[in-house]
Structures are given as structure tokens and as C-alpha cells.
Amino acid sequence: MRIDPDVKLDFCDVLIKPQWSKAPSRSSVRLDREFTFKKCSWNGIPIIAANLDTVGTFSMAKAMAEHGMMTCLHKHYQLDQLVEFFRTAPKGCFYTLGIKTEDMQKLDDFSKRVDVLPFLCVDVANAHIQFAAERIKMVRDKYPNAVLMAGNVVTPELVHHLVINGGVDIVKIGIGSGSCCTTRLISGCGYPQLSAVIECADAAHGCGAKICSDGGVTCPGDVAKAFAAGADFVMVGGLLAGHDECDGERSDGKFKFYGMSSLEANRKYSGGLKGYRAAEGRCIEVPCKGPVSATLQEIAGGLSSAATYLGASKLKDFPKCCTFIRVNRTHNSVFESWIG
């Protein structure tokens, strides 16, 4: 056993230091980015709705696209539904798959029925394991021209491995940060999200790849911090839960939201938990929140505001302009106990 003495930080451990700047007004801040991949490029605001079965829905994809944002569809749609959707899908939609043989087979069948392959996301809770890395490489070898996102990992070594050996274009970063995740409580494992992003962004950019910060965003300010830490994309789950575009159960103004490794999800898709496994997600109720558009505007507005504090005229410049300060308290919480 050894102890790494460096303190690793989360979004709640820092604030972005306000700077004097000649930054333009909020309205002229450019939040869109252009990314070039092997065979295509993408332009938009690089925020991605997470592939939870409640959040990564067809209707979320349409709403996100209206704001120039992306969606990672959940992997539980039927093949026919996916084929139908991707015939007219907005650009910037990810087809998600796991690493089981049946997931590979479904993608093969899918690829035969669509003209252009969408962006692909190979999603596994822990991509530090060899089998996961092998499966990710298998997808890359089969579909050399696809834009490939894969994860999740939290260390620069694994970022290098997935990019150099696995041919991944966008490495998804985050273990245990999610709002409905209990991995840290169940297994004691994880990595504070801000430090993971800072360290992994450096590793990915050094070898020409990109990262997506996945999990842990609790408010628009955290999205700004993730971009300032070096994330190229930021994935958001819980913040989008409960909106009209989500699929799931609603009653008495509440929406049922659960992690994809929760007992709830395991019951729904695998007939329950296998004897040797513990659930690593929770099931909660969130208020029904109406159309997602208002929340997306808040997030975009938060980024524009952060840009003016940072002195950045575009999202791309956030890391270059940012100094984080470590804090003991990020905000005044005096009225929070009165909410809800």
C-alpha cells in the first residue's frame, strides 16, 4: 500500500478567480467550438446529455440539438427504433454501446442498415480493465472512420492507453462523480472530478485526443469549471433529469431518476442483480421541471457569464485564462435549507 500525498480536487473545492479583462459583453461570447476528427468535423456547444435511459432519449436529442448541443442516446433502444431515428437524427448524436458480445452484434446489425455511422460511445463503468480496453479497440478496428468516444477512466496512463492503443477520439473521464452514483460508497474507489479532468486533459491533448468530463456537475458553474479545467466536452445527467424530454415514471409532480447500475436499472434490464454484485447507483425522486430549454439556457448563460469573469471571448480560451483558487466555501448557503 502507498498513499499519494497530493490532494485531489472536486468542483466544490475551487472557484474561478475573477480577472480584469477587456472581454466582450456576454452576448458576444462564443460558446461554440469546432472539432475536427479523422473523417468529419463537428461544430456546436460541447455539452452532452448523458446516456441514462431517462435522460439520453430521442426527444432530449432533438431539444439539445436545437441549442447546438449533443446527446448520448441510451443503449436500451431497440435496433429498429435506432435505425429509424438515425435516418433523420440531428448531427452530434452518439449511439451508445456496452462491451458485451450482444452489444457488438447490435452495432454490426445497425451499421448494415444506416448509410452513415453516427458518433459512437463505448460506455463501461470502469474502462481500466483489460477486457474493456480490448473491446473498445475492437470497435475502433471495425469502424475506423467513426468518431469514437469511450470510457470511463480517470488517470493519464489510461487516457494514453485508450488513445494510442485503442484509437479513441474522445476519452470519457469520471469514476464515482455522478449524482446517482454510489460507487465511492460501495467500493471506496473514485477520483475527484476536477483533478481527473485537469490531469486527463493534459494527457489527451498531448496525443491529439479530446476528453469529455462525465459526472459531478451540480449547477451551471460546475460546467464552467469543467471547461476551464480543460474538458473539451461536458456530459450532464442529473441536471437534466425531470424535464419533459426525459422518459420515465412521473407522479405527484415528481420524476423517478436512477443510476444505470442501480437496483432499479438492474431489475429493468437484467432481471435483477447477480449474486456477486452490489448496486452502484441510487434511485431518487426529482421535481418535474418542464421543458429542458430553460435549463439549457441557464447553462449557456452561466458559461457566458464565466467568460466575462475570466476575460475569455470564447469557450476554447477558458483553460488558458483560468486561475482556480482553492476555497473552503464556494457560496453562501444561508437560504438553501429553506428550499424544498
User: Among the candidate windows 39-47, 57-65, 179-187, 330-338, which touches ligand 5GP by CB under 6 A?
Assistant: 179-187
Neighbours of 5 (CB within 10 A): 5
Least gap, CB of 131 to ligand 5GP (angstroms) = 18
Helices 293-310, 58-66: crossing angle, 10 deg rounding: 40
Q: Indicate the residue among 29 and 239 with the shorter CB distance to ligand 5GP.
A: 239
Q: Is 181 in the site for ligand 5GP (CB under 6 A)?
A: yes
Closest to ligand 5GP by CB, 29 vs 132, is 132
260 binds ligand 5GP (CB under 6 A): yes
* Residue of 167, 112, 159 lying closest to 137 (CA atoms): 167
Q: Does 97 bind ligand 5GP (CB under 6 A)?
A: no
# chain residues binding ligand 5GP, by CB under 6 A: 27
The DSSP element (H or E) to which 113 belongs, if any, is helix 101-113
Q: Among the candidate windows 140-148, 161-169, 176-184, 306-314, which touches ligand 5GP by CB under 6 A?
A: 176-184
262 contacts ligand 5GP (rule: CB under 6 A) = yes
Whether 79 and 106 have beta carbons less than 8 Å apart is answered as: yes
Omega of the bond prior to 328 within 30 degrees of 0, cis? no
Distances (CA, A) of 264 to 86, 189, 257: 28, 22, 9
Question: Angle, nearest 10°, between helix axes 79-87 and 101-113?
Answer: 40
Decide: is 307 part of the binding site for ligand 5GP (CB under 6 A). no
The answer to whether the beta carbons of residues 225 and 213 sit under 8 Å apart is no
Q: In the complex, what is the shortest distance from the CB of residue 216 to ligand 5GP, in angstroms, rounded to a whole number?
A: 5
Options 23-31, 244-252, 257-265, 312-320: segment touching ligand 5GP (CB under 6 A) = 257-265
| Overall residue count recorded for the chain in this entry | 340
Contact present, 234 and 225 (Cβ < 8 Å):
no
Q: Is 181 assigned a catalytic role?
A: yes
Tell me how crowded residue 61 is: count the other CB atoms within 10 A of its CB: 23
Nearer to ligand 5GP, 57 or 261 (CB): 261
Q: Tell me the CA distances in angstroms from 137 to 61, 142, 300, one per residue in order.
A: 27, 9, 34
Which one of 30-38, 63-71, 213-221, 246-254 is the stretch in contact with ligand 5GP (CB under 6 A)? 213-221
Q: Is 212 a binder of ligand 5GP (CB under 6 A)? A: no
Q: Which residues of the shown chain bind ligand 5GP in the complex (CB under 6 A)?
A: 50, 52, 125, 152, 174, 176-181, 183, 214-217, 235-239, 259-262, 280-281
| Active site residues per annotation | 181
